[in-house]
Structure 1
Amino acid sequence: MSNWKKLGTRTATLALGTALLLPALTAHAATPYTAKDSDTFWKLSKQLDIPLQQLMAANPNVNPLNIYAGLKLVIPDTTAKVMAESVAPAVPIAPVQSVTTTAGQSLSFSKVMDIKATAYSASAEENGIWGAVDFFGNPLKLGTIAVDPNVIPFGTRVYITGYDFSGLPTGGLIATATDKGGAIKGNRIDIFVPGSRSFVSDFGYQSVKVYILK
């Protein structure tokens, strides 16, 4: 991926102790939270069982790469959403779709997309001053992909097939959308591959199928 992979994705940091509040859905729709050194939006969304996009929307001015001990965050209250869902009209259940991995694991998916894929490494030339981390500050690893979040939302788990490259598992790869890049727009993904920049560049451009997992 090009050197400007991370450009345009960062937001301003906040002074220590600054609280962030979003207009409340109810009188108690947000809870203050004081961050710890190890916190990231991704970890908090899993620990608190809150959708990643909802957590980020509640803290629009926080730089995901600068969550530090003492930073005041807002934890959105999902009660209103749960109540709305409880009274929503029933929606017909779509037939279960599944794909089987080369290891024999059956994965349920909601949609399959034809995507143009590239690959990137952990090299400084590709990641610039931000270093070898994803958009949320987590270390890059096999299974990290960069996406256009308007097409594949952050936090989406996917199963990728159809590529031909020795640096990736044969047959298919289960990955999570936790990164983005300036060149990744529309039906594009960038797959992180461990290894040197020259090795990873041999991936080139490939057409793959991306299964959006449930």
Structure 2
Amino acid sequence: MKFNFVKQTLAGLALSLTVAGFAVPSYAAQASGTYVTAKDDTFWKISQKLRIPLDDLLQANTNIHPLNVYEGLTMVLPTAGVPVAQKQAADKVAATEAQPAAAQAVKQNSVKTASGETLSYSKIIQAVATAYSDAPEENGYIWGPVDYFGNPLKLGTVAVDPKMIPLGTKLYITGYTSDGLPSGLVATATDIGGAIRENRVDIFVPGPKANAMKFGIQNVQIYVLK
């Protein structure tokens, strides 16, 4: 309570000096650092000497009693050093300039598909890919051409090692060449296979079995989508 009273008294003195014709600068603060008090210094004199608002100086030095300022004290100076309006304008410019950087960071974690769609991804996996068709001999005569969940095989079905890529994960696969697939494939990991281990995937290729046979073994890049 005593501190607040002294603070208000000093603030009132600042106002009275302004009215009397003394300029009280509307500066946000002086450059950061410290100040060693001289003989006869007061918070008010220091605020005028360094062009720092009295209130800012008081708040930065709550450990020093306003009525007990003597020579040799080290005061902490508030940061900044520009008028309040100028500082606010600078902060606004800085925030605006930061936006493209943030947008760039988002862009770096996205990939554009062959159709022009932009997709966000969490990581990239370098993998080896093979292909399979809906031929009975490739899928078993009992179960037929369905994935692990019993859904019919279709464009976008991919068999994976669930320990490497969890089932249900959305993927974007590039780097291969195939007559039966688009240049980039948006897919879902919904199938498994006995020979599919670690970073190997098996891509379903619609159409004749020959399309899958022609695919062979290729290196691909897999984007794990968010």
- TM-score, normalised to structure 2, is 0.52
Answer whether contact 2:205 2:211 (CA < 8 A) is retained: no
Partner of 2:221: 209
Task: Answer yes or no: is 1:175 the counterpart of 2:183.
Answer: no
Task: Answer yes or no: is 1:102 the counterpart of 2:114.
Answer: yes
* CA shift digits 1:145-183 (9 cap, x unpaired): 00000000000000000001111002x000000000000
* Distance in structure 1 (CA, Å) of the matches to 2:201 and 2:114: 22
* Distance in structure 1 (CA, Å) of the matches to 2:181 and 2:166: 23
Answer whether contact 1:154 1:177 (CA < 8 A) is retained: yes
Partner of 1:149: 162
Q: CA deviation at 1:195?
A: 1.5
Partner of 2:198: 186
Q: Considering only CA atoms, is the larger Rg found in Structure 1 or Structure 2? A: 2
Task: Answer yes or no: is 1:111 the counterpart of 2:151.
Answer: no
Answer whether contact 2:159 2:196 (CA < 8 A) is retained: yes
SS of 1:151's partner is: coil
Partner of 2:211: 199
Change (3 A) 1:95 1:173: closer
Partner of 1:138: 151
Task: Answer yes or no: is 1:126 the counterpart of 2:151.
Answer: no
* Distance in structure 2 (CA, Å) of the matches to 1:142 and 1:107: 18
Answer whether contact 2:179 2:211 (CA < 8 A) is retained: no
Q: CA deviation at 1:96?
A: 6.3
- TM-score, normalised to structure 1, is 0.54
Q: What one-letter code is carried by the residue in structure 2 that aligns with 1:159?
A: Y
Q: What one-letter code is carried by the residue in structure 2 that aligns with 1:149?
A: P
Q: Aligned Cα RMSD in Å? A: 1.7
Q: For this pair of structures, how many residues does the alignment match?
A: 121
* CA shift digits 1:1-54 (9 cap, x unpaired): xxxxxxxxxxxxxxxxxxxxxxxxxxxxxxxxxxxxxxxxxxxxxxxxxxxxxx
Answer whether contact 1:146 1:178 (CA < 8 A) is retained: yes
Task: Answer yes or no: is 1:158 the counterpart of 2:151.
Answer: no
More helix by share: 2
1:30-109 to 2 correspondences below 5 Å: 97-109=109-121
Answer whether contact 2:159 2:192 (CA < 8 A) is retained: yes
Q: What one-letter code is carried by the residue in structure 2 that aligns with 1:147?
A: V
* Distance in structure 2 (CA, Å) of the matches to 1:95 and 1:197: 38
Off by >3 Å, runs of 4+ in structure 1: none
- Greater length-normalized contact order (CA 8 Å, ≥ 6 residues apart): 1
Partner of 1:13: none
Answer whether contact 1:96 1:108 (CA < 8 A) is retained: no
Gaps of 5+ in 1: 1-93
